Amino acid sequence: MNIHKDIKRDTRRKDIMDIQTGKKIVRYLGKEKVITSSELAKFLGVSWNTAEKYLLELVIEGEVVKIKKRGVNLWLLK
């Protein structure tokens, strides 16, 4: 018996970055040169985890570089 069969699944994931958010992050990085995940989270008004996910997506797309330094992740344009 599947008790979850009547639950509608929300196929829209709010943590997946849309194109506008990606462009906004790239513009912010262009202005600031180097940022932390916390700075981006504050700028976008999202959690640290969401900001980190967005930045990792941009790393995969080849637009951003991640540098790990003494317990903090630094992000800059490639």
Domain coordinates of the chain in residue numbers? Answer: 19-77
pLDDT value at position 28? 97
pLDDT tens digits along 5-56? 544 444 455 556 788 999 999 999 999 999 999 999 999 999 999 999 999 9
Q: What is the CATH number of domain 19-77?
A: 1.10.10.10
Per-residue tokens: 8: 């509608």
**Is 36 within 8 Å of 48 (Cβ atoms)?**
no
Distance separating alpha carbons of residues 35 and 59, to the nearest angstrom: 14
Which single residue is written with the structure tokens 């196929």?
A: 11
Q: What is the DSSP letter of 8?
A: P
Distance separating alpha carbons of residues 67 and 55, to the nearest angstrom: 12
> pTM for the complete prediction?
0.78
